[in-house]
Structure 1
Amino acid sequence: MYKPKKHILNVKTPHHGGMKEEEIKKYGYTPSEIIDFSASLNPYGPPQIVMDEIKRTKKQDIHYYPDSNSQHLRKKIAEKNNLNPQNIIVTAGMSELIDLIAQTYVKDKTPVIIPEHTYGEYEPSSKLNGAVIKKASMPNHQLDVNKINRQVEKNSVVFICNPNNPTGDLLSPKDIKKILEKTKETNSLLVIDEAYHDFIENPQTHKEIIKEKNDVIVMRTYTKAYNIPGIRIGYGLSNKTHIKYLLKSKIPWNVGDIPQRVIKTLLTKEADLFMDKTRKKLKENKKHLKNDIESLGLETTTSKANFLTIKVKNARETREKLLKHGLIVRDCSSFGMPQHIRIAVRRKNENKKLVKALKKTI
């Protein structure tokens, strides 16, 4: 039998949250009866403007090939971020962008630095391209700049999730600058994953670091903020040289015309207003949820994102017990945290159901 390249033999498929139909059936539920706390999506989305745009789809919208490099959408995203279109790449979700970065920059034996407890896709994508993975320890389950910098050697690729998934802690602009100084010193590439960027109050714009002399790529997505995982759009911000390299690696027509049109509706004042209202609601919901959980004697990590990570005795068992109540939470064992579960902040009535179920299970 014809064999794959050797790197694939050492790759494990990462685990993700979300509903699994067979598992739900086992407990006697249908997907509509389940409350999903395992995927950190905006419970108030998608906004109506997304649905209206989808309904406007005509035959000609699917009769022709889409704009292969998403030129019009790149221009709109660039305007929103006060950058040039040449500073933007649009991809089929952030997963494609992670793969593109690994394909473009990870060579055989490239050191790839990843925090000890973080998003699971950086490692397999890097390993497929021959990387040597180096984990930066996280004392008290918090990102530590000094621990990260200590692992960086010449010609490394450094992945940082900010705010970090699953712990939710957020590095400051000063922290990012410190890592960037280290990557400059070692001729390395810094990749910042900002999947939860839209849930932060006063987030960084990064215009000051998206410069030709800086080897940094910022990754973002519309999936979480607008609750549109089925649309599959992510984008990257970087200097013109890195975007040019990534575009060379990208497959043609990676993003369809309908997703491109849908995302344009999210670059409007109406979408901004939707997110402003969402942030206020989720901030209030999170405060009450955190207090209610801690009143049960459970510890939570310090999270700046739209989710909380809770310490329990056994994450797998707790998840199974909560499933019996029609609630799915994220078992953090795959993050290297077998005593923690991650829960998305949802609507108030849903959060109360979770707290009530947690009280029974502990």
Structure 2
Amino acid sequence: MTDQRPPLPVKKYLLSLDPCVHGGLIRKSSQKYGIPESDILDASASLNPLGTPFEQPDPELDLQELLSKGLEKLEQYPDNRYLEYRTAAAEFVGMGMTYENIIPGNGSTEIIRLVAECVVAEGDVVLIPRPTFSEYELQCSVMGAKIKYIEQDDIFDLEDEILAEAKIIFVCNPNNPTGKLFDKEMMEKLAEQCAAQKTILFVDEAYIELAEPEQSVAYLVENNDYLFIQRSLTKSFAIPGIRMGFGVASSKFACVLNNARLSWNMGCISDTIATALLSMKGGVNSKYLLDSRAFIEQERKFLMTKLSRRGFKPAESCVNYIYVDITDLSLNSSELAERMASHGVLIRDCESFQNNGKNHIRVAIRTREENERIADTIRQVIYEWGREQAEIQLRENIKAAAECGRKGSNIDCDYYPCHFEEQDCTFCFCPFYPCEDSRTGGNWIESSSGGQIWSCLNCTIVHEEKIVDDLLSIFVSEGLSDESIRKAWKEVMERNL
């Protein structure tokens, strides 16, 4: 039966719009896998691993005190000028900013939406360097923009004609998900080029306090009406549940954006807490943020080493997450993320970043204990997946042997001969692994990622023709099962060791 109702009363291009994919899906994962939320380690959301300022040994701020202070204003509308917050944000940024340069926001997404609403019209070209934060394209797509993708490596080599065609270009610095930071001299030249072509340069500095805040280009805004800087508090202060952020622009540009934004886009709690956080002594170089950057650098080195030992290719990062190339792993990013989640560890599948393919993941840096758990879970998942693949291949080999006999020597294998010339390769994937019986020639060796692993390098028995025939006589007739494996070990292996 066809739907006789009239079409939805929305802009047509919104009908094909898909929502952004984000990390931090703790509740969803808990419900899907039956794991208590408290047992889930979230390495998919890139928050300050040091924790909130309220959790430090000598906290400068008292959360309960701030909550009480905020709740005193519960029965009145917020002052939508947000002067205290904007003044604190200006002082936090420094560089000669005043409250007139600050646009308060309910987190990064709302700020992106505000800028898109104010500058992007239907049909306007928007430049998105990929891979990068997906909210840029979503919020501009809501306005009917024409999205044009460029590569991250091409940002600073764009022809004037390409920029002149675009209404706005987004640059995430440090970039999410790659963790790459562009220095301010490069950004300054790009800002000049964009202004000359009357193209807005939107620089997202949401993670810069956790990287190198001195690389911020906020100092350029007052003399450049085509430059907009975004900052976020939720990442730096690890409080994603309280939506806080702000934009930085020339006083003229900021005035228009403040006039256009939602009248009360921050509530009394977020206003009070955000103002206090931005007012911490030292600003971007407060003891808390200095300690955070030192902690991140230390744990980043540790986790990079762990990930490298797993055969992955982690990219150099300056911030609190690592972009990892897993091309050499037969397991793709989506399946790896799903399997990790089933063990209670969330990582970010980077396929959702502008159709980035299934060869990259992003892993947030956590505490030492949590980073150990991330590495251990990756090792466990790869082992389990490998066992599953081995069993599949083993069953296929047994099925083929039932029809054609032993496989014989697989001379086309890149590793042949892995044991001896003319070895039989039917049981390349050993049904007894790990047998842990040194009589086979196998033994425990040190793993590259730490700990020990059972090595079959010196085991040759399952590649001898007579042994293969005897094992196949059991597996072909009885199938591959725990019971038949035990029987084969007892009746064939034990008698020949």
TM over 0.5: yes
Picking from 322, 347, 351, the partner of 2:340 is: 322
Q: Equivalent residue for 1:204?
A: 215
8 A Cα contact 2:336 2:381, kept in partner = yes
Corresponding residue number in structure 1 for 2:319 = 305
Paired residue for 1:39, among 36, 45, 53?
45
Give the partner amino acid of 2:371: N
CA shift in 2, pair 1:201/1:179, >3 Å: closer
Is the alpha carbon distance of 1:28 and 1:305 closer, same or farther for their aligned partners in structure 2, counting shifts above 3 Å? same
Map residues 1-362 of structure 1 onto 2, 5 A cutoff. Answer: 1=6, 2-48=8-54, 49=61, 51-57=63-69, 60-82=72-94, 83-138=97-152, 142=153, 144-147=155-158, 151-154=162-165, 156-266=167-277, 267-269=279-281, 272-312=286-326, 313=329, 314-335=332-353, 336-337=355-356, 338-362=358-382
Separation (CA, whole Å) in 1 of partners of 2:238 and 2:188 = 31
CA distance in 2, matches of 1:103, 1:149: 25
1:50: how far off? 5.5
TM-score normalised by L of structure 1? 0.93
Q: After superposing the two structures, state which structure 1 stretch, 307-316 or 187-196, moved more.
A: 307-316
SS at match of 2:292: helix
SS at match of 1:217: strand
Question: 30-39 vs 5-14, which deviates more?
Answer: 5-14
Q: Match for 2:372: what amino acid?
A: K
Question: Match of 1:311, as an amino acid?
Answer: D
| 3-state DSSP of counterpart to 1:8 | helix
What amino acid does structure 1 have at the position aligned with 2:281? K
CA displacement, residues 319-340 of structure 1 (integer Å, 9 cap, x when unaligned) = 1121232100001010133211
Contact 1:162 1:196 in 2 (8 A): yes
Question: Which 5+ residue runs of structure 1 have no aligned equivalent?
Answer: none
Q: Deviation at 1:173?
A: 1.3
Cα pair 1:77 1:88 within 8 Å, conserved:
yes
C-alpha spacing 1:249/1:58, structure 2 compared with 1 (3 Å)? closer
Normalising by the residue count of structure 2, what TM-score does the alignment of the two structures yield? 0.69
Work out the CA distance in 2 between the residues paired with 1:137 and 1:156.
18
**Counterpart Cα distance in 2 of 1:220 and 1:88:** 10
Give identity over the alignment, percent. Answer: 30
In structure 2, C-alpha distance between the alignment counterparts of 1:53 and 1:14, rounded to whole Å: 36
2:280 and 2:221 mapped to 1: Cα distance? 23
Aligned equivalents of 1:146 and 1:326: distance in 2?
A: 43
Distance 2:149 2:80 in 1: 36
Looking at structure 2, the residues matched to 10 and 224 of structure 1 have their Cα atoms a distance apart, in angstroms, of 31
Larger RCO: 1 or 2 (CA < 8 Å, sep 6+): 1
Q: How well do the aligned residues superpose, as a CA RMSD in angstroms? A: 1.9
In structure 2, relative to structure 1, the CA distance for the partners of 1:165 and 1:149 (3 Å cut) is farther
Q: Deviations over 1:213-234 (max 9, x none)?
A: 4410000010001111111111
Structure 1 or 2, whichever has the larger Rg, is 2
For 1:230, give the aligned amino acid.
G
* CA distance in structure 1 between the partners assigned to 2:83 and 2:219 by the alignment: 23
- SS of the counterpart of 2:220? coil
Name the stretch that deviates more: 272-281 or 103-112: 272-281
Instruction: Return the alpha-carbon distance in structure 2 between the equivalents of residues 250 and 357 of structure 1.
Output: 44
Alpha-carbon distance in 2 for matches of 1:62, 1:121: 31
Amino acid at match of 1:70: Y
**Pairs aligned (count):** 359
Q: Note the residue ranges of structure 2 that are not aligned, 5 or more in a row.
A: 1-5, 55-60, 383-497
> C-alpha distance in 2, partners of 1:218/1:77?
12
Moved more, 174-183 or 102-111: 174-183
- On the 8 A contact 1:329/1:342 being kept in 2, the answer is yes
